[in-house]
Structure formats: C-alpha cells, structure tokens
Amino acid sequence: MRVDVALPSENFSSEAVYLDGMKGYPDPKCKPTIRENLAVFELSLTNIYDCGVTRVINQITGKKVFYHRIIVETGPDTGKEIVSVKCITTGPSYNVTHGIVKRDVLPAGFQEPEDLEITTSITENAPEPSLGIAIRQGDKLVSGDLNVSPGAHLQMEIFLDNRSAPIYGLGVNYMLVTDTKYQEETIIFNGCSVDPYLFENFNTVDGDLLAAKFRAFKFPESTYVQFRGTVNVCVDRCKGVICSNGQTAFGRRKREISAAPADPNKVYEVTMTTFIKVNYDENADQNTVSEIDQKIRQLKLTNQKLARNSRAGNVFESIHNVPARTADVEQLEATSLPADNESAKVEETIVFREVITRQEEQEDASFESASGSSRRTGWQLGALLAALCTIALEIVRH
C-alpha cells in the first residue's frame, strides 16, 4: 500500500512525519521517503506486523480492509495533523442464506386485508467497525517514543469508534508479544491470560472497550516490544467465558486446545498491533526487575507446554510409532530448552523413559512367554520318550 502525503514545505523534516504510535521506530520500512514536498510510505499488506497495519476481515463476505494513521507535526503552534489511510480488497462472492422460523398457527377466523398500504420503508446498513488500541501509564498515554521501565504498571485498552460502539462488541482471542526479531511469547491464549502476573485478562463493562492491566517487560535483544492481537467483533456483544483462574474473559476457555465453536455473533476478525519502548532505568527497583526476568523465563516454559499440548495427535503415540528415533528426539528436546528450565528437561525425559521402559517390559514379557512355552514343550517330549522306552523294554522281556 503506497501512501503519498503532501507536506507544508519542501524542507520539511522526515522526523516530523511518522506512523501513529511509531515515532522514532528504527525500522526503515516504516519511515517515509521524502520527495520534494511529498512523504511517501510503502506499507506491506502481506507482512502487516512490520509497521503495525490493522487488518479487518468480514467473516461473511470475505472483504478485507487495511488501515493505518499517519501523523504530521506541522509546528508548535498548529499542532499535529492526522491522516487516516485505508486500502480495501474484495473477497469472493458468497450466497448468504437466512433461516426461516416457522410461526404459530393463526387464530380461528383470522383475516388480513387484500390490499396492504406500505407507508414507510426503512433501510439501514451497519457501519464498518474501526478499532483503536492504546497503552496508558496512569492517566498518561504511552507511545513508541516514550520509555517505560520494566515492571511499570500499564493498562492496554482496545476500543470501538463512536459510530460502531452502539452496534458491536469486542473480544480478544489471541495475543503475543515479540521483539520483532528473534523472540516471541504468547500472553493471551484462546481468550485467557497465560500468566496473569505479567498480563491480566481483558475485562469490559459495556463490551465496547476492553482493558487489561500488565507489567512492562522487554527482551534482551531489543528495547521495543510489539503486541500482536486478534480481536473478534460481534453483533451487540461477544460471549465471555470463565478462565481457569475463575475470572471472566472475552474469548474461549484457556484449557480448550482444540478449536471451539465460533461465536455466533462474530462478524469481523481484526488483527492489530501496538508498540512500547521499554528500557532499563538506573533508578528502577532491582528486585522488581529480577522478578520480571524470572516471570519471563516462566512464560517461556509455559509457552513450550502450550505448544506441546496443542500439537496434533498424542505425544506418547507419536513417539511410540517411531521407537528407533527416540534417543534423537530426546536429545533435540533437551538441547532446545534454556539451561535454567531443568524442570522442562526432566518432564520430557520422563516421557521418553516411560516409552523405552514399556517397550523393554513388553519385550521381556514376550521373551519370558516364549521361553516358558519352549520349556513346557521339552518336558512333554521327554515324558513321551520315557513312556515309549518303558513299553519297548516290556515287549523285549516278554
């Protein structure tokens, strides 16, 4: 998606034109190219996460809408200018059928007039939802150019625009956090929080605005943290469920690994992202920083367990079907985990040892069964030969 933004002058600074929430973001793909009095953005619609493009998919028609906002800082006196950009792609045609509800039998003697007079005709179209996402620290809005310290108490808000709010409701189904380079961890899985200490469940009062409290954290390789979420947009309100910690969240149950029935009110699926900049502060509480680092390591371990549980098929059956590669798989699992996750190594090793032990027990049982059968056959043959010899001796004597 190419966007040309007219600038007030030819010598306008490129630092004053940026994508919403991404001021100072270092990725050159997200920065404009200045050509005379134009700022040109080239935004990918395939890798929408690169520069935080929001994608809206109509679940009925297949229509896709991509949108973003561009901020132009015109000056200290005039403030900022916000430019909304949108790209629409049409999906395949669908034949949408409507169910007919059979009504009750009409009362006896009911008659309707032969000529009906239609006095009014009302036609309305529901608006296409537009979602926003914001992160706050108290009353202050946190953007990509502001630093927050690890462990800081933040709140993420996802909300509908004013036109869509009376018609639709929201529910967050999935969310992960990444450094945009090498590491990513799931924080919302099937609608529920993976670690409520780091990131709580999304809650709502009216269904139009979702809010979740969380603690700021970062990865070692980057100061920028990106949140990637999948949000359901439902008619009236999305269904909330009880998560494993007893709280009501707006998605599916945490313990459901297989796909659950879709929300019948869901009409749109929105993929959206936001960035924050987290940097260590020399005045930060070191105990809090250490606790956050420990929670990140636990989150990695939890994500490894989620990945194993969500794989198709049973782990034991998949290992049992390929016994010759058991040692290789055990070595791969052990080397792929961090050094401080000893419990994960032990858990994996127990699974593989159980397989090997059961196989050895089965082989021993089969061997013992075969040996016992051979011994019984030998005893029977010996007894038969002894009986024949006795009969032969009796015949010779007579």
**Tens of pLDDT along 168-196?**
999 998 999 998 888 899 999 888 889 98
Q: pLDDT tier at 24 (50, 70, 90 boundaries)?
A: confident
**pLDDT of the residue at 272:** 94
pLDDT in tens, 139-173: 888 876 677 888 889 999 999 999 999 999 999 98
110-116 contact pairs (CB < 8 A, 24+): none
The structural domains of the chain, with segments of one domain joined by +, span: 1-47+66-84, 128-312, 314-398
pLDDT in tens, 308-334: 665 433 333 333 333 343 444 344 444
Residue 285 has pLDDT above 60, yes or no: yes
Angle between helices 342-397 and 326-336 (to 10 degrees): 160
Residue 392 has pLDDT above 60, yes or no: yes
Domain 128-312: state its class: mainly beta
How many angstroms separate the CA atoms of 16 and 13, rounded? 6
Model-wide pTM > 0.85: no
Q: Where are the alpha helices (DSSP H) in the chain?
A: 286-309, 315-320, 326-336, 342-397
pLDDT in tens, 58-106: 998 889 999 999 999 887 777 888 999 999 987 665 555 555 566 667 7
**pLDDT of the residue at 271:** 95
